[in-house]
Chain A
């Protein structure tokens, strides 16, 4: 597998110019997630008090995969219902756990489809999942959803 297939232009573009970056007010919950093995760190805030994700803001330090994933996540979920955001989380996670061999729905995942190649590199799946796990945690802490239980991508 050619590594340059993992680093799709969409990923590199989001890495160079992150969307919705920076920590903003107001917010309902703030979480700090890390990837202890490589040191990626992410602080993520969510505003979601009327059944939809009104804002996601963040500050992080990490590799292109984790940074681009955060940027694309923000693009995709701001303005989306909380319920559909969690469903999208499941779709994204399914793709990341597929080993890169599934047929994810491009219309549904939009720019996030670019991470399908990352799924072929098991060591990098956590990088792509970091923001999504943080968002799920933040939604639980904000009270926008009830406790969903532990995140499967944290099980190792």
Chain B
């Protein structure tokens, strides 16, 4: 990395991290769920609200011009951050789920019976359910990659099943799994999809905050992600799409600012991205996303990725050494994301979450919106710790100690 990654200095930008929870220092290990917000983001949002707030595009006065510049400026920052050819390829949505619904509904409009859509068992529900809905509506067939026992997409089985074939119209996959941390070979699969004329959609909700993103390298035709996992406020997400593809698609939601001319009989639609942004957009949130991108870029995405690798390796080592703990997902940091799902023998994830919370450790317990994946491994839920740009080793130590305490408490020891 270009400069030393000074995690203690970074933590000073996050006042929430100095909170005490139940007498313990907060160890926030739930960044895959939502990341904390650095002070520059909070300040940018406050400055917009205090000094520049107005609607965008339709407000022509001075504040409207300033708000529009801030909103469109955020769009340009997003475009630069992911290597888009133009800001016009960036559509703001409310979150990654809405971005995926937008992709599914607009691509799904041309699906016909006999067409196929391919997803995988390791997807978040937001990359499963929208495709189920559009496939059912169109009479198209939904197919999926299975996951191997060592937590990767089962490419051999997919090949044997001829999963991606001349009927495939869309392939939609997570770049980085929100449960397993597995990094999928998106570029390779995108090549297969595009070779049969299918559109490659990538769910970047976990990948974009964790590693440098370049849509061309990724091989995607569309990329969905959300702002709040990058340190932006909730309420803003992004769908990036190749411009020629976006231009060929029908609108998703109808309303103000997505039209060209409205007559009572019919309307013509604006060009992308406006075509997909009906109604007043999340202006202040987008400004926050722009500030978050500036902040992340300032830290350096290479540095963030290296930091995450170091902390994830440490967490895998600490948790892996505890008797009774089973880690779901690749066991070593061999191209792996920062989500670490695990189980403790004899203790339900819901109880683990509660016990860890009592020791100041914030993790997520449940199926993490990936029930089919848990079913694949014969469980209904797991506990997930995840790494953020501000995570430090002492928080991993706090987690490991609390896991041992939890295990022993439920085993009847230490009570």
B357 contacts A38, C-beta separation under 8 Å:
no
A3 contacts B357, C-beta separation under 8 Å:
yes
B355 contacts A39, C-beta separation under 8 Å:
no
| Residue B367 at the chain A interface, CB threshold 8 Å | yes
By beta carbon, the residue of chain A nearest B368 is A39
Contact with B along A113-137 (1 / 0, CB 8 A): 0000000010010010000000000
A39-B415 contact in complex given A2-B358, A4-B409, A64-B348, C-beta closer than 8 Å: no
Contact with A along B118-136 (1 / 0, CB 8 A): 0000000000000000000
| Residue B213 at the chain A interface, CB threshold 8 Å | no
| Residue B313 at the chain A interface, CB threshold 8 Å | no
| Residue B365 at the chain A interface, CB threshold 8 Å | yes
Chain A interface size band reads: 20 to 34
A39-B410 contact in complex given A3-B358, A4-B415, A124-B354, C-beta closer than 8 Å: no
| Residue B371 at the chain A interface, CB threshold 8 Å | yes
By beta carbon, the residue of chain B nearest A40 is B350
| Residue A6 at the chain B interface, CB threshold 8 Å | yes
Which residues of the other chain, B, contact A40 by a CB distance below 8 angstroms?
A: 350, 380
CB distance from B347 to the nearest CB of A (A): 8
Specify which of B351, B358, B380, B412 is in contact with A64 (CB 8 Å cutoff).
B351
Complex Cα distance, B380 from A38, in Å, reads 9
CB distance from A127 to the nearest CB of B (A): 7
A127 contacts B350, C-beta separation under 8 Å:
yes
Complex Cα distance, B26 from A100, in Å, reads 25
Complex Cα distance, B358 from A121, in Å, reads 11
A38 contacts B365, C-beta separation under 8 Å:
yes
| Residue A87 at the chain B interface, CB threshold 8 Å | no
A121 contacts B354, C-beta separation under 8 Å:
yes
CB distance from B344 to the nearest CB of A (A): 12
| Residue B215 at the chain A interface, CB threshold 8 Å | no
Which residues of the other chain, B, contact A127 by a CB distance below 8 angstroms?
A: 350
CB distance from A28 to the nearest CB of B (A): 28
| Residue B83 at the chain A interface, CB threshold 8 Å | no
A62 contacts B350, C-beta separation under 8 Å:
yes
Chain B interface size band reads: 20 to 34
| Residue A41 at the chain B interface, CB threshold 8 Å | yes
Which residues of the other chain, A, contact B358 by a CB distance below 8 angstroms?
A: 2-4
Contact with B along A57-85 (1 / 0, CB 8 A): 00001111111000000000000000000
Complex Cα distance, B357 from A133, in Å, reads 27
| Residue A146 at the chain B interface, CB threshold 8 Å | no
Which residues of the other chain, B, contact A38 by a CB distance below 8 angstroms?
A: 349-350, 365-367, 381
By beta carbon, the residue of chain A nearest B346 is A16
Which residues of the other chain, B, contact A41 by a CB distance below 8 angstroms?
A: 380
A7 contacts B409, C-beta separation under 8 Å:
yes
By beta carbon, the residue of chain B nearest A67 is B348
Complex Cα distance, B357 from A67, in Å, reads 21
Complex Cα distance, B383 from A39, in Å, reads 12
Which residues of the other chain, B, contact A62 by a CB distance below 8 angstroms?
A: 348, 350, 380
B380 contacts A39, C-beta separation under 8 Å:
yes
B415 contacts A37, C-beta separation under 8 Å:
no
Complex Cα distance, B351 from A41, in Å, reads 15
Which residues of the other chain, A, contact B348 by a CB distance below 8 angstroms?
A: 62-64, 67
CB distance from A38 to the nearest CB of B (A): 4
CB distance from A140 to the nearest CB of B (A): 27
Complex Cα distance, B350 from A39, in Å, reads 9
A12 contacts B366, C-beta separation under 8 Å:
no
By beta carbon, the residue of chain A nearest B356 is A3
Contact with A along B317-361 (1 / 0, CB 8 A): 000000000000000000000000000000111110011011000
Complex Cα distance, B371 from A40, in Å, reads 11
Complex Cα distance, B372 from A39, in Å, reads 12
CB distance from A102 to the nearest CB of B (A): 22
Which residues of the other chain, A, contact B350 by a CB distance below 8 angstroms?
A: 38, 40, 62-63, 65-66, 124, 127
Which residues of the other chain, A, contact B415 by a CB distance below 8 angstroms?
A: 4
By beta carbon, the residue of chain B nearest A3 is B358
- Residue from B351, B374, B410, B412 having most chain A Cβ neighbours under 10 A: B351
Sort A-B residue pairs by CB-CB distance and give the 8 closest, nearest first.
Answer: A63-B350, A3-B358, A63-B348, A39-B367, A38-B366, A39-B381, A39-B380, A61-B380
Residue pairs across A and B with Cβ atoms less than 8 A apart, 28 shown, are: A3-B22, A3-B354, A3-B355, A3-B357, A4-B358, A4-B409, A4-B415, A12-B410, A12-B412, A38-B349, A38-B350, A38-B366, A38-B381, A39-B367, A39-B374, A41-B380, A62-B348, A62-B380, A63-B348, A63-B349, A64-B347, A64-B348, A64-B351, A66-B350, A67-B348, A121-B354, A124-B350, A127-B350
Binding site for B on A (CB under 8 A): 2-4, 6-7, 12, 37-41, 61-67, 121, 124, 127
